[in-house]
Structure 1
Amino acid sequence: MPHIENSPEHATSQTSAQPSAGLLDTRYQVETPEGIDLTLRPAGLVPRALAYSIDLIIRGVVMGLMYLLLGMLGKLGMGLGTILLFLVTWWYMVLFEVLNQGRSPGKQWMGLRVVHDDGTPVGWPASLTRNLLRFVDILPMGYTFGILSCLNSPTFKRLGDIAAGTLVVYREEKPQPPILPEAEAIRAPFALSLKEQRAILGFAERANGLSKERRIELAGIIAQQLQVPAEQAEHRLNGIAHSLVGPR
């Protein structure tokens, strides 16, 4: 597995990463020093182009409104407009990427974000590099170099991403906590193995989809171990499930 050289700002967190092989949809596998595998989904050319188009429209609207207002100030307004054009052109993306978890408004709309190659949040040096080199990706016209670079990269990197060591990936949604039947959290009367904990949680999570008779039947299997009558075992299991999940 190839090794990634990290930028100075996160050099202490060394990881190895590579695109997953043998999958129809691209995955980018990152292994942390703790041995935890992270899977990132690089965004392709089309969603990235749509995100950039949204940002371009937003910047155009902002600049249009500001020029209308600044036009009332005559030459002073023209000078301020030039400064504003520079700031919006070069700092719009950087500020949003660094201060908004790698997401410009367009990327946020499309469910994308920018990260370092090792999956860590993008920082100032990397964001500045990838956005300053955008003028190279634009050459010779219509983002030709950038498009060719994306199409030839297994992780859809444009030249700015290659230089900065960044990826544009899909933002993973946080999993919703399971909905458990109402019950007061109680501790199990005996030590539970990991397999038993999973079984109890699985029972509680599926309870709403099971008939009452089936729930009683399943819970009754371990009623004796729970030290309760069979008809009370279901409620006891739900209470143990709540204690395993913890307060929410």
Structure 2
Amino acid sequence: MLDTVREIETPEGISLRLRAAGALPRAQAWMLDALLRMGVFMLAMIPLGLLGVGGNGLAMLLLFALMWAYSVACEVWLDGQTLGKRALGLRVVNADGTPVTWVPSVVRNLLRVVDVLPGVYGVGLVCTLIDPHARRLGDIVAGTMVVHAVELPAGTQVPTVAAIPPPVVLAADEQAALVEFAERSGQLTLQRQEELANLLLPLTGRRDTAAVSQLIAHANWLLGRA
């Protein structure tokens, strides 16, 4: 299954391009997670094996946690990434591009028992080959998808223009917001760019397209560009 791109427009008018992960990178991430869980369990069995019946009970609890709780906890607490997915640069998100939450994560992982049928993820593989966004059955039901999560350094996508220093000293969060606006400007409609830029009239002293250009110039200065 080749990786595909899903384009989503947010209520703010931002166009998000999510590159869905195909079956091969997902299988590789699953194998890494499986090896990690197996290693943790085998190491834990060394001391637990010395505890007799009580140790066996604890071992069963640990096995349950590794099989079922591991993926859900990682996806919710580690920004949609198990350790295997992080190593492969993958992330689980909701179908609209928002971070995955508890209920969708639980659903997609519970339905893994269906995706694995009749063996070696037969159902899941067929679903990823048929679905336009390479989703297995669990993702389709939960409303989630696995995407490539390549992170670009902050400011990489800011258009390069002549830098102009801001007329006032900006706090760190204000600088970050200004750079983020400039970085996403190419994904916004012109009307939305102007609407947001006009909110900063006290900073730019300009309106509409001139205000947008001024903010992008300020962002270039904050990024240390000449």
- Would the TM-score normalized by the shorter structure come out above 0.5? yes
Q: Does 1:76 align with 2:76?
A: no
Is 2:168 the partner of 1:185?
A: no
**Unmatched segments (≥5 aa) in structure 2:** 168-204
Q: Write out per-residue CA displacement over residues 185-233 of structure 1, whole angstroms, 9 at most, x where no aligned residue.
A: 365xx969379659xx8xxxxxxxxxxxxxxxxxxxxxxxxxxxxxxxx
Note closer, same or farther for the CA distance 1:103–1:186 as it changes in structure 2 (3 Å cut).
closer
Is 1:107 aligned with 2:92? no
1:245 aligns with 2:223: no
Paired with 1:78 and 1:186, the residues of 2 have a C-alpha distance of 65
1:33 Cα deviation after fit: 1.8
Structure 1 residues 150, 85: CA separation in 2 closer, same or farther (over 3 Å shift)? Answer: same
- Structure showing the higher helix proportion among its residues: 2
For 1:163-174, what aligned pairs fall within 5 Å after superposition? 163-174=141-152
Instruction: Note closer, same or farther for the CA distance 1:184–1:137 as it changes in structure 2 (3 Å cut).
Output: closer
CA drift at 1:71: 0.2
Q: Distance in 2 between matches of 1:244 and 1:34?
A: 21
Query: Identity over the aligned pairs, expressed in percent?
Result: 45
Question: Displacement of 1:246 after TM fit?
Answer: 5.3
Say what the alpha-carbon RMSD is for the aligned residues: 2.9
Please report how far the alpha carbon of residue 172 of structure 1 lies from its aligned counterpart in structure 2 after TM superposition.
3.3
Q: 1:165 to 1:196 in 2, by over 3 A?
A: closer
Separation of aligned partners in 2, 1:186 and 1:171:
33
The question of whether the paired residues in 1 share the 8 Å contact of 2:117 and 2:123 is answered with yes
> Unaligned stretches of 5+ in structure 1?
1-23, 202-240
Aligned counterparts, 1:99-178, within 5 A: 99-177=77-155
**Structure 1 residues 105, 25: CA separation in 2 closer, same or farther (over 3 Å shift)?**
closer
Instruction: Give the 3 Å change call, closer, same or farther, for CA 186–137 of structure 1 in structure 2.
Output: closer
Deviations for 1:100-144, whole angstroms, at most 9, x for unmatched residues? Answer: 000000000000000000000000000000001101011111111
Which one has the largest radius of gyration? 1
Number of residue pairs matched by the alignment: 181
Residues 195 and 185 of structure 1, relative CA distance in 2, 3 Å threshold: closer
* 30 and 196 in structure 1: CA distance in 2 versus 1, 3 angstrom threshold: closer
Distance 2:211 2:146 in 1: 36
Q: How does 1:1-248 map to 2 (within 5 A)?
A: 26-177=4-155, 185=165, 193=210, 241=217, 243-245=218-220, 247=222
Distance in 1 (CA, whole Å) between partners of 2:212 and 2:67 is: 55
CA pair 177-152 structure 1, distance change in 2 beyond 3 A = same
Going from structure 1 to structure 2, the CA distance change for 1:32 and 1:184 (only over 3 Å counts) comes to closer
> Quick one: higher RCO (CA 8 Å, sep 6+), 1 or 2?
2
TM-score (structure 2 length as normaliser): 0.71
How far residue 184 of structure 1 moved from its aligned partner, in angstroms, is 9.3
Residue identity in the other structure for 2:20: P
